Amino acid sequence: MLTLRQMRYFEALASVLHFGRAAELVHVSQPALSSQIREMEAFLGVTLVERNRGNILLTRKGEEVLEHVRGVLAGVERLEQAVRRGGGLLDGPVRFGIIPTVAPYLVPKLVPHLRSAYPAIEVELKEAVTDRLIADLAEGRLDVVVAALPIDHDGIATRPVFRDRFFMATATNDSDVLMSPLTEAQVDTGRLLLLEEGHCLRDQALAVCGMAGRRSLVNFGATSMATLLQMVSHGMGMTLIPEIAVPAETARNDIRIVPFAEPQPSREIGLAWRRNGAGEDEIEALAQAVGACVAA
């Protein structure tokens, strides 16, 4: 008989392609996980995993089975959530994914706001780049994602919530004084500091500064907005900063914020969720909560 435990173990193994790390993900010993995978293979009558020394690969049949397994697990998760929730709006666990250039500035306001408005809510948070969050959302590990739009993914619906304008940040004592409002031509691409590959803000910054497709000009990639602005405040360059980050970062960094000329560049931040996941009323309530926190 095929069990949910076996499917969960197989999904964990497929996600990391390593028996030891997969066992850690599901909190069992490696032999226990290996045994369950073999039992699953025996029941189905197929080989799911190629086991080579130091190298784990899914077979073609394994990839086919994985697609069905993830669908089953997502359905089970929806069932569990429906049972746990008492029927009230946002009554129960809500698993949020938020991109790193929004999370530090939104979460301190959003979590207290939600707990006040919906006392039965249980907020779980994950911060990661957009691609990782959307993968987790599609596979049922998250309920809703806060990210920059557009997001093009089958089965994922989106709703815009607020416009986040871009500014340029430089050190207050920077010898290279930028005119305000700033134009693309004034940006010294040789001094531009950006987030590392994988962050959507990196690509947005390159586009704003007329550098799309010319990534070789940028020889530094930071892991966080906080790191970038520390470097900027010490005169090591300049960087694009989203409006949502301005109040917090100007309070702790010695930086000058320079607006762009009209039409001001911006990004659209919104919610993403599985079409067959959260209900419309819940998404609307979350959207209003996010919007209220940003406005505040």
Q: Can you give the pLDDT at residue 144?
A: 94
Q: Are residues 50 and 242 in contact, defined by beta-carbon separation less than 8 angstroms? A: no
Cα torsion angle, 10, 16, 22, 25, sign: negative
Average pLDDT, the chain: 83
Sorted by sequence, the CB contacts under 8 Å of residue 148 that are 6+ apart come out as 99, 130, 164, 200, 201, 204, 267, 268, 269, 270
The boundaries of every CATH 3.40.190.10 domain in the chain are: 89-162+268-295, 164-265
Q: Which CATH superfamily, name and number, covers 89-162+268-295?
A: Periplasmic binding protein-like II (3.40.190.10)
Instruction: Look at phi and psi of residue 87 and say left if phi exceeds 0, alpha if psi is from -120 to 50, else beta.
Output: left
Distance (Å, whole) CA 33 – CA 38:
9
Q: Can you give the pLDDT at residue 87?
A: 53
For residue 55, count CB atoms less than 10 angstroms from its CB and return exposed for 0-12, middle for 13-18, buried for 19 or more.
exposed
The boundaries of every CATH 1.10.10.10 domain in the chain are: 4-83
DSSP code, position 245: G
pLDDT in tens, 216-260: 444 456 667 888 888 888 888 888 888 999 999 889 888 888 888
Distance (Å, whole) CA 97 – CA 17:
23
Task: Retrieve residue 292's tokens.
Answer: 């209220």
Q: What is 164-265's CATH number, 1.10.287.610, 3.20.140.10, 3.40.190.10, 3.30.2320.30?
A: 3.40.190.10
pLDDT in tens, 196-225: 655 666 666 666 665 544 444 444 566 678
Backbone angles phi, psi at 35, to 5 degrees: -65, -45
CATH topology of domain 4-83: Arc Repressor Mutant, subunit A (1.10.10)
User: Is the pTM higher than 0.85?
Assistant: no
